[in-house]
Amino acid sequence: MTIPPAKTPHILFLFSNTGGGHRASAEAIIESLKLEFGDSISTEMVDFLKDYAPPPYNHLPAIYPDLVRVPELWGVGFHVSNGRRQARIMTSTLWPLVRRAARRLVREHPSDMLVSVHALANSFALKALGKNRPPFITVVTDMVSTHALWYDRQADLILVPTEIARQRALEYAMPPEKVRVVGQPVSERCSAPPGDKRLLRQQLNWPQDKVVVLLVGGGEGMGPLAETARAIDESGLDVGLVIVTGRNVRLEAELKSRAWENPTLIYGFTQDMPFFMHAADVLVTKAGPGTIAEALNAALPIILYAKLPGQEDGNVSFVEQVGAGVWAPEPLLVVRTLTRWICRPAERAKVIENCRRAARPEAARTIARILGAQVGLSK
Ligand code: UDP
For 103-123, write each residue's pLDDT tens digit: 999 999 999 999 999 999 999
Confidence band for 264, pLDDT divided at 50, 70 and 90: very high
Strands (DSSP E) found in 210-355: 211-216, 239-244, 264-267, 282-286, 302-306, 325-327
**CA–CA distance from 50 to each of 54, 62, 301, 316, 336 (Å)?**
9, 8, 35, 30, 41
Mean pLDDT of 357-364: 96
DSSP string, 2-63: ----SS--EEEEEE--SSSHHHHHHHHHHHHHHHHHGGG-EEEEEEHHHHHSPTTGGGHHHH
Q: Residue 21, CB half-sphere, CA atoms under 13 Å: how many?
A: 26
- Widest CA span in the chain: 65
The Cα–Cα gap between 269 and 266 comes to 10
What gap in Å lies between CA 289 and CA 21, rounded to an integer?
7
**Mean pLDDT of the region 251-261:** 97
Per CATH, the number for 193-358 is 3.40.50.2000
C-alpha of residue 80 to centroid of ligand 1, in Å: 26
Asked if residue 21 has its Cβ within 6 Å of ligand 1, the reply is yes
Q: What does the chain come to in residues?
A: 379
pLDDT band at 1 (very low <50, low <70, confident <90, very high): very low
Confirm if 125 and 116 have CB atoms less than 8 A apart.
Answer: yes
Query: Stretch 39-64: mean pLDDT, rounded?
Result: 94
**Structural domain boundaries in the chain:** 10-186+361-374, 193-358
Cβ atoms of 37 and 372 within 8 Å: the answer is yes
315 in Cβ contact with 245 (< 8 Å) = no
- Residue 11's DSSP bridge partners are 43, 113
Which atom number of ligand 1 is nearest to the Cα of residue 186? 15
Distance, CA 373 to ligand 1 centroid (Å)? 29
Residues 1-19, mean pLDDT to the nearest whole number: 81
| Domain 10-186+361-374 -> CATH class | alpha beta
Among 78, 269, 273, 292, name the best residue to mutate to test ligand 1's pocket (greatest count of ligand atoms within 8 A of Cβ): 273
Q: Across the chain, what does the average pLDDT equal?
A: 94
Model pTM score: 0.94
- What was the pLDDT predicted at 74? 87
Q: Specify the pLDDT at position 5.
A: 52
CB 32 within 8 A of CB 188: yes
Return the closest-CA partner of residue 115 out of 289, 370, 361: 370
* Lowest-confidence pick of 1-5, 95-99, 156-160: 1-5
Residue 33 dihedral angles phi and psi, to the nearest 5° = -60, -40
Percent of the chain with pLDDT over 90: 89
Tell me how far apart the alpha carbons of residues 135 and 157 are, in angstroms, rounded to a whole number.
9
